A and B are shown apart, each in its own frame.
Chain A
Amino acid sequence: MAQPLVKKDDDRDEEVEYSPFFGIEKGAVLQEARVFNDPQLDPQRCSQVITKLLYLLNQGEVFTKVEATEVFFSVTKLFQSKDLGLRRMVYVMIKELSPSADEVIMVTSSLMKDMTSKTDMYRANAIRVLCRITDGTLLTQIERYLKQAIVDKNPVVSSAALVSGIHLLQTNPEIVKRWSNEVQEAVQSRAALVQFHALALLHQIRQNDRLAVNKLVSSLTRGSVRSPLAQCLLIRYTSQVIRESANNTQTGDRPFYDFLEGCLRHKAEMVIFEAARAITELNGVTSRELTPAITVLQLFLSSSKPVLRFAAVRTLNKVAMTHPTAVTNCNIDMESLISDQNRSIATLAITTLLKTGNESSVDRLMKQITNFMSDIADEFKIVVVEAIRSLCLKFPLKHRSLMNFLSNILREEGGFEYKKAIVDSIVILIRDIPEAKETGLLHLCEFIEDCEFTYLSTQILHFLGIEGPKTSDPSKYIRYIYNRVHLENATVRAGAVSTLAKFGAMVDGLKPRIFVLLRRCLFDTDDEVRDRATLYLNTLGGDGAVVETGADVKEFLFGSLDIPLVNLENSLKNYEPSEKPFDINFVPKEVKTQPLAEKKAPGKKPTGLGAPPPGPPSTVDAYEKLLSSIPEFANFGKLFKSSAPVELTEAETEYAVNVVKHIFDSHVVFQYNCTNTIPEQLLENVTVLVDASEAEEFAEVASKPLRSLPYDSPGQTFVAFEKPEGVPAVGKFSNMLRFIVKEVDPSTGEAEDDGVEDEYQLEDLEVVAADYILKVGVSNFRNAWESMGADFERVDEYGLGPRDSLAEAVNAVIDLLGMQPCEGTEVVSPNSRSHTCLLSGVYIGNVKVLVRLQFGLDGPKDVAMKLAVRSEDETVSDAIHEIVASG
């Protein structure tokens, strides 16, 4: 070992990169580890070798299985030494090696001996090591000692056992749960950290028992908790109890609010902050409850400690989202934080100010931000951009300076996400603030002149095509668009061609010139660009004559594609080339609800140019194929909608039956999916007897029995009803499963010849109004709403009575109507007192319906709702109101 382990001071001064581990090498250290096997152990030398081994592990060196085992075995020899320091290193080493089960056995007895030793340090550490490496079987052997250790006089031993309990609860909950008496005793300990660990463990043991947690909290909030850490835990548990009990109490009182407020006067900053944060996060917190918490946070803002300032400003930033007025008092302190050395603090301060600022302070703020933007990271910039967007929506008069700011930062360097955030913001501002439209569009035009992101270019071109022709001087945009045809890649060129065509379609004066440009595109090198140019020239009548653009052409160019792309893709895949052209009208329009996992995170609304999320492949095709293969139903026409399966039997009954409701224009077909769960039975001639006496408008026209239903292979039987055409008839149906049952010999699988007729009662089934509405999303609700016009708008207000929460009321109405929520508006942000939800759908008879729901809390729990419906048919608008009124 040629290590420069030299002690003389003058030598060390020469060696600049001096390190005791200089030139260390794994193989050599492993060789050195042989000293562990010496009969005469030298504790100091052994400690030193262990340190070297730990150093190697710490640097990311990996020991092979063989090496690790060898080291482990030699380390176990060191238990012979009585040296305290060495033993301590041995404990750390064993934990680092994380031995396998058969290796653990080698040290178990040594560790168990240490666990019962008189030396506190041995007991504490042996417990921690043993619990770290042990498995369940060993745990039962040492359980007795662990329970004793929890109530040990020595706080270090007690803490070691409790913390080990916290870890073991994850793997062996049933064992740890048996210790709750001891843990309970430890909660009363005078040692601060023991109390903290005991409280953490006790709560985890009882966390699923709401009553027990409630009792624990109410007894401790009255008693004295010594350690600040334990006090923080108690605050967390208290707000959890408040959260869970919030739904039950009708009064405005909060059971433990006084405790939280009291903690604001605690002497430890950590506790004060924990309590302040807990108060700001209470559901439906009132401004009176907020004030004391805001006051302590405000004090923290001017602290000399960056961590305190950060914690306070981060919390206030969150409060500003829901209660901007409560934070305005802190604005002066906040402004001084803009120049904070710590950029995270500065960013949070700025975004908070943007949320709480008033109109007069905007210009001053923008000046401060401009200096600041250049030296923060993209992630912070995005936060600032989003805050500026919402500020601009709040103060539309300030759009000029804010829009200028956005266009300035758009020209600077930045990554895709940042640029997209800016472009999205500008697009939203253009949509919502009419005065900002022309300047905003020009900013976007300038941006695509030098934009490296194809996605953004095409999105902006598309947007220009919609908004540009409606401006006072559309011609000024043409140059920017046509430049793209020369300078960009094929995707952008194709997008530019479409945009040109839209200008041509909308602005007659520009037509001749547009035709010239489009004709030039016919010589493009890319197929798609040429195809588009040809298509548009033909649809717009590019043979020279300037004719008024037909309505269907406009619809083709501007109308939204109301078919989910996935469905279109599926239909195109299934289409077989033949004489019959592909008909887009036969593509199913239903958006299948997405599985929960795919849903976007709540509060993350798709904004601006973002396309609606694609739905998963639908089962509509499968149903349609199935039904059209049955001759009785073949003449019912096009399937309008199929419901999700409704269970008609309890789980785990003899026969499992669910039903799918297929809605046609003047028929309804019930598809009963039956499963026979009895191996000894074969069912034959299975039908469902439907009693439609509570569904007056329905008349049974056909029934298709299931010939045979063997064990565990599902089959279907159908019943069809006629109903008045295009009318959303509703009704209740009672069902009886009738069949002939035959005994089956389980050994041979053969059925007997004779069967017995039998019946089986199923649950009732309802056809409801939502069955007549298809979930069809629109990509831009506002555009759709405006283009639908107010001709058949129906508005009315409803009281929904007391509800658990606003979100619950919103979901209830969405379910009742069975329509597609748009733009993420089905998500209600917590603590809000009002919410607007946008729904779209297609009513039977292919009538588009758009619904705007405005919810508000009226009193503590009562929910009021304003319902505005627009559709292409006034009877449909009325029908929607009727559904809500009767629902």
Chain B
Amino acid sequence: MDSCPCIKNFLLLDSEGNRVAVKYYSDEWPTNSAKEAFEKALFSKTQKTNARTEAEIAMFENHIIVYKFVQDLHFFVVGAEGENELILVTVLQGFFDAVGLLLRGNVDKKEALENLDLILLCLDEIVDGGVILETDANAIAGKVASHSVDATAPLSEQTISQALATAREHLARSLLNCMYVPVPWLADDDAMGSSG
């Protein structure tokens, strides 16, 4: 019996159940179609629930699923049937908050896709091959952001509330069309023109 807590997969889906980013650590879903079928079934099962204020939980096909929604993004963490539910939700919360920090509070599908590199690095920092690496959102975001070429202060030194405050500020400013938050590689692509 392997008694180490184990994460089977992360799913980040949009409001129609399409993938934004997913990461599977278990080989229970060997093919892409098996994965998609799982995601679809899981999505339709949880779609109607309200997981916006608190993380929700469900039993599904012998897995424990914890999930949380924000805007048009659905975050899922899947673990084994016998897993400690609170460990799973800690991982989910770490993922959720780290994404919030990295996207500076603008957590929605568009923003997530524009910063997909950050999301993928974030997943890479939370779990390695199913083993939990880190659950603290500040630490995760710090590790991801420390090498993104962003001008603002390192995220690891901010608390969540500070970061959210910054995010709000950013949002307000971008709404006023004063400043657009530069997304490094997108900006670059624009500069280079569409050469592809």
Interface on A for B, CB 8 Å cutoff?
A: 1-3, 5-7, 9, 12, 18-21, 28, 31-32, 42, 44-45, 47-48, 50-51, 54-55, 58-60, 62, 84-85, 87-89, 91-92, 95, 121, 128, 132, 156, 159-160, 163-164, 166-167, 193, 196-197, 200, 203-204, 228-229, 232-233, 236-237, 240, 269-270, 273-274, 277, 304-308, 310-311, 314, 341-342, 344
Contact = CB atoms under 8 A, between A and B. Distances in A.
Given A9-B180, A48-B185, A48-B188, A311 B84 contact: yes
Interface of B: 2-5, 19, 21-22, 32, 35-36, 49-50, 54-59, 66, 84-90, 109-110, 113-114, 116-117, 120-121, 124, 128-129, 131-135, 143, 146-149, 174, 177, 180, 184-190, 192, 194-196
Contacts of B21: 58
Contacts of B146: 84, 121
B22 A58 contact: yes
A204 B133 contact: no
A9 B187 contact: no
Contacts of B2: 204
B133 A270 contact: no
A204 B187 CA distance: 48
Contacts of A204: 2, 4
30 contacts: A7-B180, A9-B174, A9-B177, A18-B110, A19-B109, A20-B113, A20-B114, A32-B196, A42-B188, A44-B188, A48-B186, A50-B117, A54-B116, A60-B19, A60-B36, A89-B121, A92-B121, A229-B132, A232-B5, A232-B84, A240-B3, A270-B84, A305-B55, A306-B57, A307-B55, A307-B85, A314-B85, A341-B49, A341-B50, A342-B49
A45 B189 contact: yes
Nearest to B14: A19
Given A5-B189, A200-B4, A204-B4, 6 more contacts: A3-B189, A54-B120, A92-B124, A121-B147, A307-B54, A310-B85
Contacts of A163: 128-129, 131, 133
Contacts of B54: 304-307
Given A88-B147, A229-B132, A344-B59, A5 B116 contact: no
Contacts of A85: 147-149
Contacts of A51: 116-117, 120, 185
Contacts of B114: 20
A539 B30 CA distance: 58
Nearest to B175: A9
Contacts of A50: 117
A31 B196 contact: yes
Nearest first, the 4 A-B pairs at minimum CB distance are A1-B196, A48-B185, A84-B147, A60-B32
Contacts of A156: 143
Contacts of A342: 49, 56-58
Contacts of B185: 44-45, 47-48, 51
A27 to B, nearest CB: 11
A229 B116 CA distance: 29
Contacts of B148: 85
A159 B55 CA distance: 28
A726 B54 CA distance: 74
A311 B116 CA distance: 33
A253 to B, nearest CB: 24
A233 B3 contact: yes
A42 B192 CA distance: 11
Contacts of B192: 45
Contacts of B85: 273, 307-308, 310-311, 314
A21 B174 CA distance: 22
Nearest to A61: B32
Contacts of B5: 229, 232-233
B133 A193 contact: yes
B149 A270 contact: no
A20 B54 CA distance: 30
Of the candidates B36, B129, B177, B194, the one having the most CB atoms from chain A within 10 angstroms of its own CB is B129
Contacts of B35: 60
A197 B133 CA distance: 8
B189 A48 contact: yes
B117 A277 contact: no
Contacts of A32: 196
A6 B110 CA distance: 13
Of the candidates B56, B85, B89, B186, the one having the most CB atoms from chain A within 10 angstroms of its own CB is B85
A20 B186 contact: yes
B188 A307 contact: no
B171 to A, nearest CB: 12
B169 to A, nearest CB: 17
Nearest to A85: B147
Given A92-B121, A193-B133, A306-B54, A311 B86 contact: yes
Contacts of A270: 84, 86-87, 90
A586 B63 CA distance: 51
A341 to B, nearest CB: 7
A394 to B, nearest CB: 26
Contact of A58 (B19, B134, B143, B196): B19
Nearest to A1: B196
A141 B59 CA distance: 45
Contact of B133 (A1, A159, A236, A314): A159
Contacts of A167: 128-129, 131
Given A20-B114, A121-B143, A44 B57 contact: no
B120 A92 contact: yes
Given A60-B32, A166-B4, A203-B3, A7 B129 contact: no
Nearest to B130: A167
Of the candidates A31, A84, A160, A229, the one having the most CB atoms from chain B within 10 angstroms of its own CB is A229
Given A1-B195, A20-B114, A273 B84 contact: yes
A882 to B, nearest CB: 43
Contacts of B58: 342, 344
A273 B85 CA distance: 9
A306 B55 contact: yes
A277 B147 CA distance: 41
Contacts of B113: 19-21
Contacts of B131: 163, 166-167, 197, 200
Nearest to A312: B85
Contacts of B84: 232, 270, 273-274, 277, 311
A346 to B, nearest CB: 12
A1 B193 CA distance: 9
B157 to A, nearest CB: 16
A48 to B, nearest CB: 3
B112 to A, nearest CB: 10
A17 B186 CA distance: 17
A722 B85 CA distance: 67
Nearest to B66: A307
Contacts of A197: 131
B53 to A, nearest CB: 9
A87 B22 CA distance: 22
B48 to A, nearest CB: 10
A273 to B, nearest CB: 5
Contacts of A233: 3-5
A229 B134 CA distance: 10
Nearest to B185: A48
Contacts of A236: 3
Contacts of A305: 54-55, 89
A5 B191 CA distance: 11
A197 B5 CA distance: 11
Contact of A44 (B135, B143, B149, B180): B149
B135 A229 contact: yes
Contacts of B117: 47-48, 50-51, 54, 89
Nearest to B88: A307
Contacts of A92: 120-121, 124
Nearest to B12: A58
Nearest to A239: B3
